Chains A and B, each alone.
Chain A
Amino acid sequence: MPPKPANPAPAAEFEYCEVCRYNHDQGRRHRYMRKHREELDAVVTRFRSKLSDLRRALLHGAPSSQPPRPRLWCPFCSVDLDSRSACGNAIYHLASGEHLKGVKDFLRKHGGAMDQVESLRISEDGLAKWEKVSKSLSTEAKKGTEGLIGPSLKPTKDIQNESTCDNLDSFSQTNFPSLSNTASYVVMPLQSPTNGEYHPISTACHVASSLSSALYATPCETLRPPITPWGSAETHKLQGAPPTNWFHSSGPETKCHQSTIIANGASPSISCSVHVRFRTIKIQQSDAGGNLSNGIGYCCSKANVHTGAPPPWLKANEYDPENFSIRSCGLFSSRERKLRKLNPKRVGAAWAERRRAEMEMEKRGEIVPETSDSNWLPNFGSVWQSGTRKESRKEFEKSHKLHDTKSNHELALDIKPYISKRMICSFLLQRLGVDKASDKDGGRPGVSAEEQLWRGPIDGFPCQAVSGMQMLGMPSKALTTQAAVAFLGTKH
């Protein structure tokens, strides 16, 4: 008898699941647990959102000095990418084969779908693109930030050094060469480490760069765009005038302020919108002349609070659909939150929802508010109520209608003085002065005058009586017997 296969170990080994963060003895079954799958989904989506931020920065060619996230933990390789101190390293890691292997291992171990590997790493194309952009940007930034003090390599984020670039000195020296239109050879401070190879700048180049330096250094109010307060900007908008947007107007100073926003690290939406313009500027500048890219870098580093540049929040004068949508979303969410707090089982909850939607639509003018519904009544439980409150309303409406018709009937039967036909006849004859003798001539043959009178067109009403009533102003349409009697009674 062959020995029975050994049972699986009674107490399976405990294993730590780094996704769920606890020890379990469920073995390979664990990865199919609902909780584990939810956790895995959460981890992957969290990482993906961080990665998308990074990608956005990558696409826009953000300088490596500005990491899009303060921290980035790679859950697949268990590496804190922030600890490597630069965003560039994070990007290199995410594009590396090591990371790819880590992602694959992680997904295999925790039971994720393998088709999402590509969405969890950065492709080589993206890396190459980013490298190209960041290289050009970093050279410009370097040239701009490393000023007169020397070729010492400082961290690019050093704001203090950026602000102390001796612009004021240069301003006093340059003395607005471009404005006075004297393209003289003014000695410019060194903008970048030249390693001893300092070539005198060409005239055009010199004018442009000195102009830019003057613009940034100057405290002069004529060159600086006036800082428009919120209110005035709003009124401009309301009047339908073109927005007084300094960022749209052409000219060197506006370009510089645009780049200010980039340098100050504005919110992603703003920097995104500005970046396009930044590129266009770059093209213009490179058209102008060889060394002018230096000027851009210089501008980027210089325009800040010390040089009187408008703060980035004034940028919001411009219509920004993203900002707007965020604001409206905020309002909506607060209202939603308020509504969500209410008990969904409260009295008339469904009715309130419907009515609220109706009111919204009425406010927007999509539907016409009901004003003609005069028979509307709310539900009301009467004292002797049995059944729903709607029933009591229906009963009331029914009885109300009955009551109405009854009261109408009573009103109609109200006036009933008895007047004999003979009396009417004699009255009319007297009134109209009808002569019996004259009737004999015009009357029908073989019928007495009185008899002829009685054969009227309506209900045997006398013809003369009808005509007489028409004379009195009574329409013949309304000549029912009862009405005529009533009429006569009142007239009499």
Chain B
Amino acid sequence: MGSALLPTLRRKAEVDATIRDTLDKVLVLRFGRAADTSCLQLDDVLAKSSWDISKFATVALVEMDSEEIQVYIDYFDITLVPATIFFFNAHHMKMDSGTPDHTKWIGSFSSKQDFIDVVEAIYRGAMKGKLIVSCPIPPERIPRFQLLFKDI
């Protein structure tokens, strides 16, 4: 349901344009498949809170099965879905949430407020010139995962 309310990007050019043209706002890109159950929950949270954060953030969904998106899937090294990546002025924003991967948020958010907190923390950090922020959510609400490293 959430995927119907949010803009869904299926081409690389669309993703490029969204990243480039979102100025002085946090861009939240959700990589995943709209049909996945884990994605459904995340999409719901994103869609419900997109209005609340619309003054300082923009939310967009990326359909990761599209042919053209595979470059980004490789580049962002997305293996677990859903993966949420944050940008500010076309700069990638990292978040230290105690998980092995700082570059993206893996999994869903437990509530709307958690998502808003995360985006707000990123916005505040970015406005202070920080490229990495620490996660404002308590660790018990952060989804855990393990990275399996290939080619090492």
Show the binding face of A for B, using Cβ within 8 Å.
Answer: 342-343, 345-349, 351-352, 355-356, 359, 371, 373-374, 376-383, 389, 393, 396, 400
Contact = CB atoms under 8 A, between A and B. Distances in A.
30 contacts: A342-B127, A343-B127, A345-B128, A346-B88, A346-B127, A346-B129, A347-B88, A347-B91, A347-B93, A347-B129, A351-B90, A351-B91, A352-B23, A355-B21, A355-B23, A374-B13, A377-B71, A377-B75, A378-B20, A378-B87, A378-B90, A378-B92, A379-B92, A380-B75, A380-B92, A381-B94, A381-B103, A381-B131, A396-B74, A400-B74
Given A347-B129, A352-B23, A355-B90, A382 B77 contact: yes
B91 A348 contact: yes
Contact of A383 (B128, B129, B131, B147): B147
B13 A347 contact: no
Given A343-B128, A396-B75, A352 B89 contact: yes
A382 B93 CA distance: 11
B90 A379 contact: yes
Given A343-B128, A381-B92, A383-B100, 17 more contacts: A342-B127, A343-B129, A346-B88, A347-B130, A348-B89, A352-B89, A355-B90, A356-B23, A371-B13, A374-B12, A374-B13, A377-B71, A378-B20, A378-B92, A382-B103, A383-B77, A396-B74
Using C-beta atoms within 8 Å of the partner chain, give the interface range for chain B.
Answer: 20 to 34
B131 A400 contact: no
Nearest to B122: A347
Contact of A346 (B16, B90, B100, B126): B126
Contacts of B92: 378-381, 389
Contacts of A400: 71, 74-75
Contacts of A382: 77, 103
Q: Which 4 pairs, one residue from A and one from B, show the smallest C-beta to C-beta distance?
A: A348-B89, A347-B126, A345-B129, A348-B91
Interface residues of chain A: helix, strand, loop or mixed (majority): loop
B10 interface: no
A345 B129 CA distance: 6
Interface string B89-109: 111111000001111000000
A384 to B, nearest CB: 9
B89 A359 contact: no
Contacts of B93: 347
B65 interface: no
B89 A347 contact: yes
B145 interface: no
B76 interface: yes
A396 B92 CA distance: 15
B52 interface: no
Given A379-B92, A380-B75, A347 B23 contact: no
Given A378-B19, A380-B103, A351 B89 contact: yes
A313 B53 CA distance: 41
Contacts of A342: 24, 127
B90 A359 contact: no
B124 to A, nearest CB: 10
A347 B87 CA distance: 10
